[in-house]
Amino acid sequence: MGCLHGALLSRAAEIDVCLLDHRPQRAAQIQHQGVIVESAQSTDTVPIHCTADPGDLPAPDLLIVFTKAYDAEAAIRRSEPLIGSHTAVLTLQNGLGNYQILQEYVAPEEVLAGTTSSGATLLGPGHIRQAGVGEIVLGSPVGNSDLADRAAAIFESARLSVEITDNVDTILWHKALINCAINPLTALTQRRNGELLEIAPLHELMIRVTQEVYTVAKAAGIDLGDFAPVKAVEQVCTATAANQSSMLQDVQAGRCTEIDYINGAIAQIAREHHTTAPLCECLTALVGGHVTLPPSPLRHGEGSGVRKSRRM
């Protein structure tokens, strides 16, 4: 997602974009080759400056954190040297709790949070397949509307769709609910998103997880507005029917997943508010490494083990 949004922003002539990677070898490769973006229509290479040394970069107007949730703290600590007095720090990561981590290292009034409905599959270092470009929704958790306006203007100058919200937590919970219902089920069954609607037992389980997360949100006092949770999850499955969720991609690649920051976070919040989330507890344990996956229909019969995820 970092490569995707870096490429999207770089296509605007007036925006100077840099990528900060923690792996020097990969950074050197991207610096040399650029970011390769495949789509249904074409394959483009977008030149982008990429480095593993934050000292190589000037203080940016906008720093976007796109790491996995479990790397959020390491990423912001690594980025501290280039955060200037005018730098807005934005997280567009999956899961809950990311902006709170950033606020431990950056003044809360300089932190933004949000979601993006864009998608991409990582094919190799600096090489992605674009699944679609959607809308970015962002806002300031502490009500700094000027900062949100500045960040939105940057995306708008690259002709990206962006909306400013006054209630970041609502938007983050909307996204978390959808991820809770879709990601672990696709990861465990190695099915594409749309198949969750086609296979009746999976569809029913997806609905039950959705309802459980919605109940926990209410117990936690989260205002979800007129959000229709089951309808929203089903619409995402339909719109991204051919996509592999990020969690499924992580499982197939043997990477740690973000399960602890998605379903695991919901289970923890449920405990804190004296309620239960048994389905989220179960899915967290299963994706966390206590099972071996069956042969994958997406990989022509090749099996794949689930690597244990990091704990919060």
Active site residues: 175
Written as six digits, the tokens of 233 are: 């999850």
Q: Within 13 Å and on the Cβ side, how many CA atoms surround 275?
A: 18
Distance of CA 107 to the CA centre of its chain: 23
Written as six digits, the tokens of 188 are: 């465990």
Q: What DSSP letter does each residue of 150-165 carry, written as one string?
A: HHHHHHHHTT--EEE-
Nearest to 126 by CA among 24, 41, 2: 2
State the Cα–Cα distance between residues 154 and 162, nearest whole angstrom.
10
Written as six digits, the tokens of 307 are: 């690597």
Place of tokens 């000292």: 55
**135 burial type by CB count under 10 A (0-12 exposed, 13-18 middle, 19+ buried):** middle
Burial annotation 183-218 (CB, 10 A radius, 16+ → b, else e)? bbbbbbbbbbbebbeeeeebbebbbebbebbbbbbe
State the Cα–Cα distance between residues 283 and 293, nearest whole angstrom.
13
Q: Which long-range contacts (CB under 8 A, 24 or more apart) does 287-291 make?
A: 287/184, 287/187, 287/188, 287/247, 287/251, 287/257, 287/259, 287/263, 288/257, 288/259, 288/260, 288/264, 291/188
* Whether the Cβ atoms of residue 90 and residue 118 lie closer than 8 Å to each other: no
Q: Within 13 Å and on the Cβ side, how many CA atoms surround 114?
A: 24
